Structure formats: structure tokens, C-alpha cells
Amino acid sequence: MQERRNTKAVTVGGIGQLQASLQKAQQSLPQARISRLYFPQTAEQPLLIRMQYPSEKAPFSYIWLDAGSAELLTLYDSARAPAANDWWDFKYAFHSGLWLGKLTVWLWLLLVIGLSFLVLSGYYLYFKRRSNNKKTATTGKADAAVQP
């Protein structure tokens, strides 16, 4: 039987405040959809809601709300961010394979398999050549093709 850890649930002002927080987030960025919720671990921490626009591959907009009163604390709208942020956010999509959809995943897979093959075949050839050199050194005979 597993031992239960002592965990303490943190309330965020009741379920009514959670609904009010979700409505406030949706009103703040009406074109975006709610993607992720990060609940506060202490009473002082805010509720973080990540929002995703339909044109985005991942949620890059953030809304921080007071967990008890559903008051808007801070808003980061990725649609109004400078162009440099688009390049910064692109690295996540490129790294995770979301950039070209399934094609990126297959390209990463082929790249990894190809590089693994090169590394493993290099080790194989190295150890094969090394064992041949040891045999030549112990017998004193060189390969016939190399002798003049």
C-alpha cells in the first residue's frame, strides 16, 4: 500500500472566482482561446492563464490574475509584441516539431537516425581497424596489398 503524502490544497477564492477569472481572461483577449492554467501554490501567487491565438502553434500570450478577486494584474499579448518576439517564439515551434507539422517530426527523426548511423558505423570501423592493427603487430605480417 502506498503512503499518502501530506498535500495541502490551495483554494483560489472558490469555484466562482475561478469562473470569473476565466471570463476575465477571455474578455481580455477575445480572439484567443484559453490553453493552460497554472494555479497558485500559495495565497500570494497569482493565477496564470496562457492564451493561444488561432494563428499560433503554441500559447504565447499570458494573463496574470489575482487568485482571490479575479482582478487583472498583468497582460502579455503576443499579437502586439515586437517582431523580435516572433523569432524568439519560433525557436520553440522549431525545436518541438510544430513548425511544419508532421513533416518536421519526420525530418528530425531522419536526421537523428542518420547521425546515429554515422556515429555507430564510425565506432565499428575504428574498432575493426584497431583489432586488425593489433593482429598485424603480434604476427609481424603486414597485409599483402601493402607490401612492395
Q: Is the pLDDT at 37 greater than 60, yes or no?
A: yes
C-alpha closest to that of 49 among 66, 117, 88, 8? 66
Q: Is the pLDDT at 67 greater than 50, yes or no?
A: yes
Q: How far is CA 111 from CA 99, 104, 105, 121, 138, in A?
A: 16, 10, 10, 15, 41
Strand runs (DSSP E) across 10-148, as ranges? 33-38, 47-52, 61-65, 72-76
How large is the average pLDDT for residues 47-74? 92
pLDDT at 119: 97
Q: Is the pLDDT at 5 greater than 50, yes or no?
A: yes
CA 116 to chain centre: 22
Question: pLDDT tens for residues 80-126?
Answer: 989 888 888 888 877 777 778 788 888 889 999 999 999 999 999 99
Percent of the chain with pLDDT over 70: 81
pLDDT at 68: 83
| Number of neighbouring beta carbons within 10 Å of residue 67 | 24
Pick the CATH number of 14-95 from 1.10.3470, 3.40.50, 3.10.450, 1.10.760: 3.10.450
Q: Where are the domains of the chain?
A: 14-95, 100-139
Q: Is the pLDDT at 7 greater than 50, yes or no?
A: no
pTM of the model: 0.60
| Number of neighbouring beta carbons within 10 Å of residue 13 | 16
pLDDT band at 142 (very low <50, low <70, confident <90, very high): low
Query: Do 47 and 37 contact (CB within 8 A), yes or no?
Result: yes
